[in-house]
Amino acid sequence: MAPVAGGLPKELLPVGGKPLLQWTLDEAAAAGLERAVIVTSPDKPHIAAFLSHRPHPSRLSVSLVVQPRPRGLGDALTCARAITARDDIAVLLPDNLFGGGPAIAAVLDAFRRTGLSCVLIAEIPAAGAAGQGATGRARCRPRSDGLWDVLAVAEKAPAEPSTLTPIGRWVFDATLFERFERLRARLPAGAELDDVPVLQELATEGRLVGVPLAGRFFDVGLPTGYRDALAALT
């Protein structure tokens, strides 16, 4: 994304006159969330500057924590642990952008109904595969309540036609941090702590529920997805 973003963090690229990060915060507020913890990089001071000058959405407070080195999404999540304490956690990745209502709302509802970790699942059709990044293909079984039991999650690879894949909206309780720490203890020094092994572990134990995506999403972390979002949402 560097040629598109120039010196701007991709989280602040505009779509429809609004930075991607603001889209994500507005989605969180619309779903009724009251507190956001943003995990950022020391190389992105623009994000802190943006947050210090933006009007906060109603009832949504915002905190900022720094991930010192880019060591994976799982590591980024654990950076927020001290602030989130024992609360349940909703994860919203700003490089996934959605049309329509707040995508995280359906995942929150599924979590409250099932008591299990829940992740948004998108089906990537053949026509859209080129505009999506690496994904972990999911094997799912339909449930009677309109959700899916996620039976397995593959390692991340380039998107394939008609792929069911977990995307960047996820809800879990605070006990999941212990899974990340156990995984970290088994990693070689300096290795990334990713989210996929934890999703795989939950799926194997029958403790991961998939929430079918209603509507379209854009992988705005890629130039093709960003251009598609500009065309659809501007």
Q: What is the pLDDT of residues 10-41, one digit of tens each?
A: 999 999 999 999 999 999 999 999 999 999 99
Q: Is residue 3 part of a domain?
A: no
The per-residue pLDDT for 20 is: 96
pLDDT score, position 88: 95
- Cβ(40)–Cβ(27) under 8 Å? no
Would 182 be classed as within a structural domain?
A: yes
Q: Which amino acid is at 219?
A: D
Contact between residue 105 and residue 200 where contact means Cβ atoms under 8 Å apart: no
Other beta carbons within 10 angstroms of residue 58's beta carbon come to 8
Q: What is the pLDDT of residue 105?
A: 97
| CATH number of the domain bearing residue 123 | 3.90.550.10
If you average pLDDT over residues 206-222, what whole number do you get?
A: 93
- Give me the domain span that covers residue 92: 8-233
pLDDT band at 54 (very low <50, low <70, confident <90, very high): confident
pLDDT of residue 216: 87
Q: How far is it, in rounded angstroms, from Cα 159 to Cα 57?
A: 34
What is the pairing mode between strands 217-219 and 96-98?
antiparallel
Give 188-197 pLDDT, tens digit per residue: 988 999 999 9
The amino acid occupying position 2 is A
More confident residue, 226 or 85: 226
Residue with token string 């973003």: 5
The mean predicted confidence, pLDDT, of the chain is 90
3-state secondary structure at position 111? helix
Residue 66 lies in a domain: yes
- In the 8-state DSSP scheme, what is residue 56? P
| Band of pLDDT at residue 183, cut at 50, 70 and 90 | very high
- pLDDT for 1 equals 84
Shortest CA distance to 170 belongs to which of 93, 94, 85?
Answer: 93
Q: Are 50 and 20 in contact (CB under 8 A)?
A: no
Q: How confident is the model at residue 79 (pLDDT cuts 50, 70, 90)?
A: very high
DSSP per position, 152-219: EEEEEES--TTEEEEEEEEEE-TTHHHHHHHHHHHSPTT----SHHHHHHHHHTT-EEEEE--S-EEE
* Residue 1 resides in a domain: no
Q: pLDDT-derived band of residue 162, with 50, 70 and 90 as boundaries?
A: low
Give the total number of structural domains in the chain.
1
